[in-house]
């Protein structure tokens, strides 16, 4: 068996396993939560285009990247352009203003999940005019720092309504789709539900109540390889899973 065929089996097995885990988590989810089918974003950072194509051929469509340069390079990779016509890229890292044009020019860009300031929203709203097709809006999420860690990006939870309202009122080229958090790593679930996830759920409730939004139309992007099932149980509509699909990253890799 070649290395490539072994990788194909691993990718397919990883995807099938994660999708089965998502289905099981949905079954355990409270019926009081919006019954939205969770979206799986396969996080492909530092993984080669060949593995992305394999995941695509196995049925995966949504992929996430943390770095603008990496997303832009992969989005324009001839192998991906040829074989992944319907790929949907999610940007899930910190976005610097000077990288906006490079990101927006990436083929297949589907969503920016990490809007964390009015300035960034305004810049995206302005620059998107250069790249959009017809009257298509750029899908965005507002990122919240639910754990309060200095190393994490995102706005403070009390600022959520103000930023969402700014996007809705002042950014006609953006489509607000939901809220996103990274949360603290390796939370011990024996202590109870992850407080970062609970905070994001509460932020959505507050946004919907204050701004008169339908809760079914406000997504929650939370949960990664180690905790995506729990995230779905408490309300995630998007989970971002990498190593469970593509395999572990090098020990010295810094996320």
CATH assignment at residue 184 = 3.20.20.10
Number of compact structural domains in the chain: 1
Q: Within a 10 A sphere around the Cβ of 126, how many other Cβ atoms?
A: 12
28 in a structural domain:
no
220 in a structural domain:
yes
pTM: 0.92
Report the pLDDT value the prediction gives residue 5, as an integer from 0 to 100. Answer: 42
13 in a structural domain:
no
Q: Within a 10 A sphere around the Cβ of 170, how many other Cβ atoms?
A: 12
Q: Within a 10 A sphere around the Cβ of 46, how many other Cβ atoms?
A: 15
202 in a structural domain:
yes
Report the pLDDT value the prediction gives residue 14, as an integer from 0 to 100. Answer: 94
Tell me which residues of the chain have a pLDDT lower than 50. 1-9, 253-255
- Domain boundaries, position 104: 38-241
2 in a structural domain:
no
191 in a structural domain:
yes
250 in a structural domain:
no
Report the pLDDT value the prediction gives residue 4, as an integer from 0 to 100. Answer: 43
Instruction: Provide Rg for the chain, Cα atoms.
Output: 18
185 in a structural domain:
yes
Candidates 80, 131, 75, 77; CA nearest to 107 is 75
Report the pLDDT value the prediction gives residue 40, as an integer from 0 to 100. Answer: 98
Please give the Cα distance from 4 to 54 (Å, whole number): 10
Strand (E) positions, the chain?
39-43, 62-65, 88-91, 109-115, 138-143, 174-180, 219-221, 238-241
């Amino acid at each position: 068996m070649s290395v490539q065929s072994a990788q194909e089996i691993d990718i397919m097995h990883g995807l099938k396993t994660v999708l089965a885990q998502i289905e099981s988590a949905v079954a355990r989810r409270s019926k009081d939560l919006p019954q939205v089918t969770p979206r799986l974003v396969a996080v492909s950072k530092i993984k080669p285009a060949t593995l992305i194509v394999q995941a695509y051929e196995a049925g995966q469509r949504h992929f996430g990247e943390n770095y603008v340069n990496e997303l832009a390079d992969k989005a324009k990779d001839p192998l991906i352009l040829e074989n992944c016509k319907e790929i949907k890229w999610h940007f899930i890292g910190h976005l610097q203003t000077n990288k906006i044009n490079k990101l927006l020019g990436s083929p297949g860009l589907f969503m920016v999940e990490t809007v964390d300031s009015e300035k960034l929203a305004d810049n995206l709203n302005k620059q998107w005019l250069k790249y959009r097709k017809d009257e298509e809006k750029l899908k965005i999420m507002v990122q919240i720092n639910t754990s309060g860690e200095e190393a994490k990006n995102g706005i403070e939870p009390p600022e959520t309504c103000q930023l969402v309202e700014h996007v809705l009122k002042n950014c006609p080229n953006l489509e607000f789709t939901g809220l996103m958090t990274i949360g603290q790593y390796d939370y011990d679930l024996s202590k109870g539900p992850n407080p970062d996830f609970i905070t994001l759920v509460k932020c959505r409730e507050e946004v919907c109540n204050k701004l008169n939004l339908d809760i079914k139309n406000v997504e929650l992007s939370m949960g990664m390889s180690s905790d995506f099932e729990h995230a779905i149980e408490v309300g995630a509509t998007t989970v971002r899973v990498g190593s469970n699909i593509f395999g572990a990253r090098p020990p010295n890799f810094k996320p």
